[in-house]
Chain A
Amino acid sequence: MNIFDRLMRMDRRWVFLLVALVCAITYAIPFKIKLNKSPEVKAVFSFMDTLKAGDIIFVAVDYDPSSMAELNPMFYAIVEQAFRKEVKVIFSALSQNAPTMADQLIKDVADSVKQDRTYNGKFYKGREIKNGVDYTFLGYKPYPALIILAMGQNFRIPFPTDYYGVPLDSLPMMKKIRNYDQCKCVVDLSASNATDMWITYGQSRYNFPLALGLTGVMSADYYPYLNSGQVFGIMGGLLGAAQYEALADNPGAAMDGMRIQVFAHIVIILFILMGNIGYLVSRRKSKKG
């Protein structure tokens, strides 16, 4: 077997090894990379930036821990921005393994907001984030389509109590909130078909502004909805998360992950090129022969 045949038929374990090495090395060596900001991510950030103290948004945490590498940075960036601006947030978790993870995420962001910070030149004093006052966490129920439909009438129909067992009517922030109409927007962070449910059963029926935070693989699918106006912004994958962190001036795991992803992509491209060189040369040889 000559070198070109070898290039064409390399054992996949070499591919796995080299990808693992490149990821490990770029993770170990810290450096920054420059990021362009795409319009669909800017649209989400600009919308969040125009919100005022006392406004309410709905954040749907519809992903399992398997997707947290891509979607957790989006959660941190958006929810921290909301809490800093004193925007109130209602959370739901319509994915099975999401509620415990979402509870932990909220606590992490609440801890971060206790610190004084400056973002984009604006100083924010640290403050205490209180359940029932600054946020409400509805929790999990199965069959997302039904829950999204029911919440359009009243959050209390599928969730008479919050995740911690407290009746919604006794939470101070929920007194004047009935359904999506009182929310400025819904942000769906999802790695499953819950996004389709939010678009079909949520946005199409109740007409609220909807922004999506999706895994990289899914995001290309939802450009039709962006173009038709059903969705006003999309953050796609680690790149979308990193762009949002850059816009919010809140660098985190996504910006760290991007430098690994850039080099991993270069390695994959090299393998593709090697495979094609081997294929083309072998094909030419067999034509001659």
Chain B
Amino acid sequence: MKFKIWAVCCLAILGMISSGMAQENADTANRATTASISPPAPPGNLEPKDTPDDNGHSITLGWSLSPDDGAGNKSVLGYKIFRSTNRDTGFVERGVSPSGSKEYVDMGGAIPEENDYMPNDTDYYYKLRAVTSDSTVYSETGVIGPTQTTGEWFNRGRTLVLVFVLIFAMVTVFFIRKARSGAELFVRRLAGIEAVDEAIGRATEMGKPILYVLGLGTASDIATIASFSILGRVAKKIAEYQTGLIVPCYDAIVMTVAQETVRTAFLDAGRPDAYNEDMVYYVTSNQFGYVAAVNGTMLRQMPATNIYMGTFFAESLLLAETGALAGSVQIAGTDQVAQIPFFVVACDYTLIGEELYAASAYLSREPILLGSLKAQDYGKAAVIALSIIGIIAAQFNWTWLVELFKSAN
């Protein structure tokens, strides 16, 4: 019996030892298998360059793929980029690029307070490491550098934009000078503009005020600037006819400019005493709060004419339908393409898009303003011609011409 117990114990101990040995052999075999991956071939032709057309603080690295990229046992799974300001020491990992990629943009902060500050005009050294599935197995390029970052003084990607802006400016100046010298410039009829005089006359006869809405834009929006010009000319006529004027404003800066515009218009008409600062007032900078206030004004004061000129959004139909309810004649103009259909449906006259910008030229018939209108027409003709050339170029695969018009960054 004792012998049997000893035998079982010995067998158990032997079993434990052999399983342990088997595990150790397996581990050794695994380690042997892992250690058997040899380092991959390194990537080549590492070239760091200052990223062009920017404010500096960025270097673009290019390289050719390792021959073991995505292939075989020692497959390269990615590339780690290391940078230092010293050729020999202090290399810090900057990022990882996946296998198959041949480019990386190393970008840093522009101000010293930032964590990742990368000052310009400083020597940077780079090396690239091709990594495998085993983090201890890799290969590196040599250290390349120094490369410095600099901020460029001209963004070459925007050259075409500059060329067109300069050409357009020169054409505008040409037509303005031509108009100043007395040349007759033809511009087509705009029903909405011609209706303004009639609408002001109607308001005077009915003894009701005119409501002028400058829209929801800020004073720096082009549509609001165009609206100021129209307001000035409308206010001058109103001063001459001694009709009432109500100008509720959405933006406080717009209010101050509109007050000045209307005051000047009354001065020009020789009726400075008729100007009341409360004609132009601030309401709120909340979209629907503004609409509610203007709608209330329309329904209480029942203006004979509503003029909407500027930037409008969802409230356009609310304003126009309420004006229709109040029985007012309505003239609208906006550069917001989405709102044009609502104004077309609900107003008597609508100025579409650039007709808003042309309105001040129409109302004043000043030669220099008509001259700039002519320049716009030629600009549009040029765009049409370029579109036709572009269609032909696309048909004949003249890619160099198509590439020329790709959007600049």
Which of A21-29, A114-122, A216-224, A281-289 binds B? Answer: A216-224
Kindly identify which residue among A178, A205, A230 contacts B114, using a CB–CB cutoff of 8 Å. A178
Chain B residue nearest to A214 in the complex (CB): B338
State the CA gap A154–B108 with chains docked (Å): 11
Q: Which of B114, B313, B336, B339 has the most CB of A within 10 A?
A: B313
Q: Which residues of B, 303-329, contact A by the 8 Å Cβ criterion?
A: 311, 313-314, 325
Which of B124-132, B190-198, B283-291, B352-360 binds A? Answer: B283-291
Chain B residue nearest to A229 in the complex (CB): B407
Size range of the chain B interface in the assembly: 20 to 34
State the CA gap A181–B58 with chains docked (Å): 12
- B110 contact set on A, CB distance < 8 A: 153-154
Convert B337-360 into 0s and 1s, putting 1 for each residue whose CB lies closer than 8 angstroms to a CB of A.
111000000000000000000000
Q: Does A50 contact B (CB under 8 A)?
A: no
Q: Does B395 contact A (CB under 8 A)?
A: no
A66 B337 Cβ-Cβ under 8 A: no
A96 B409 Cβ-Cβ under 8 A: no
Kindly identify which residue among A143, A191, A205 contacts B314, using a CB–CB cutoff of 8 Å. A191
Q: Does B107 contact A (CB under 8 A)?
A: yes
Kindly identify which residue among B287, B338, B409 contacts A220, using a CB–CB cutoff of 8 Å. B338
Kindly identify which residue among A12, A181, A193, A230 contacts B313, using a CB–CB cutoff of 8 Å. A193
Q: Does B366 contact A (CB under 8 A)?
A: no
Q: Does A32 contact B (CB under 8 A)?
A: no
A154-B109, A154-B114, A178-B116 are contacts. A66–B287 as well, Cβ < 8 Å? yes
A66 B288 Cβ-Cβ under 8 A: yes
B286 A96 Cβ-Cβ under 8 A: yes
- A64 contact set on B, CB distance < 8 A: 286-288
Q: Does A204 contact B (CB under 8 A)?
A: yes
- A243 contact set on B, CB distance < 8 A: none
Q: Does B181 contact A (CB under 8 A)?
A: no
Chain B residue nearest to A219 in the complex (CB): B338
Tell me how far the C-beta of B376 lies from the nearest C-beta in chain A, rounded to whole angstroms: 20
A204 B287 Cβ-Cβ under 8 A: no
Tell me how far the C-beta of B386 lies from the nearest C-beta in chain A, rounded to whole angstroms: 15
Q: Which residues of A, 47-90, contact B by the 8 Å Cβ criterion?
A: 64, 66-67
B286 A97 Cβ-Cβ under 8 A: yes
Q: Which 6 A-B pairs have the closest CB atoms?
A: A221-B338, A218-B338, A221-B337, A66-B288, A217-B338, A192-B313
With A67-B314, A178-B109, A217-B338 given, can you name 7 additional A-B contacts, CB distance below 8 Å? A66-B287, A96-B286, A153-B110, A175-B115, A193-B336, A220-B338, A230-B407
Q: List 29 A-B contacts (CB under 8 A).
A: A12-B325, A64-B288, A66-B288, A67-B314, A96-B286, A97-B286, A143-B218, A154-B114, A156-B114, A178-B107, A178-B109, A178-B114, A178-B116, A181-B107, A192-B287, A193-B311, A193-B313, A193-B336, A204-B407, A204-B409, A207-B409, A217-B314, A217-B338, A217-B339, A218-B338, A220-B338, A221-B338, A228-B407, A230-B407
Q: Which residues of A are in contact with B by a Cβ distance under 8 Å?
A: 12, 64, 66-67, 96-97, 143, 153-154, 156, 169, 175, 178, 181, 191-193, 204-205, 207, 215, 217-218, 220-221, 228, 230
